[in-house]
Amino acid sequence: MKKIALFGGTFNPVHKGHINLAIEVQSLFNFDKFYFIPSKIPPHKKLPNTSPEERIQMLKLAIEDLDRTVFDISDIEICSSKKSYTYNTLVEFNKIYHNSELFFIVGTDIFATIKTWNKWEELFDLANFVVVNRPNYSMDKMLHTIPVKLLPLVIRFEDFVFGMERKIILTRIKEVPISSTDIRELLSNDEYIDFLPQKVYEYIKNNNLYREV
């Protein structure tokens, strides 16, 4: 049975925090495939100020040196006419990988908003959730924020074994204290960003992206 990781986001732009998360989570779980899934119409954010094609190109550059037999990019949300609801994405991936284990990767800050997600109570029938620590949003804070009915699903990475279902797996990684919002603001002031992969930074500069906040 294959183990498939799904990592969604606007990736506007993709930065070293995203890549570090992917590498560290992959080293812990050893997934057969790890998909970055850029969203087209994010439900909880305003529309990105870059095109889907530009964000996909930045992702391609960012993962160029990773193991491409494992790390890949899915355009499943980009190609959809619907809003990028996690529920819809998981339904589609279950059709593609119907005999596999799916794992949806998300940070503590985003997972804390789970009760606002579309069909949130049904999500855990479709995949396990790998929840990773994020700067300024602790695991404890997240656990005190999510619906109480989800707490029995919570398990530490150290206690998880493949084959378990309906789990929220608390997974600690090294934090990179940066966000795409911070990066866009710095770029708008024409500042160099060490938190960007070099090829991504060059693409942004060459295409004059993020010059306005």
- The pLDDT tens digits of the residues spanning 29-45 come to 999 999 999 998 666 66
Question: pLDDT tens-digit profile of 160-177?
Answer: 999 999 999 999 999 888
- What would the DSSP string read from start to end of 154-191? EEEGGG--BTB-S-EEEE--------HHHHHHHHHTT-
DSSP 47: P
According to DSSP, residue 33 is labeled: E
What whole-number percentage of the chain has pLDDT above 90? 80
| Fold of the 3-178 domain | Rossmann fold (3.40.50)
**Backbone angle region of 35, left / alpha / beta, with phi > 0 → left and psi within -120 to 50 → alpha:** beta
pLDDT band at 192 (very low <50, low <70, confident <90, very high): low
**What average pLDDT does range 187-207 have in this prediction?**
87
DSSP assignment string, 83-135: ---HHHHHHHHHHHTTTSEEEEEEEHHHHTTGGGSTTGGGGGGT-EEEEE-BT
* Predicted TM-score of the model (pTM): 0.94
Position 191 pLDDT exceeds 80: no
Q: Are 5 and 98 in contact (CB under 8 A)?
A: no
- Please report the pLDDT score of residue 194 as a whole number: 84
Residue 121 CA to residue 177 CA, distance in Å, equals: 31
CB 34 within 8 A of CB 67: no
Q: How confident is the model at residue 182 (pLDDT cuts 50, 70, 90)?
A: confident
Residue-range domain boundaries for the chain: 3-178
Q: What is the CA radius of gyration of the chain?
A: 17
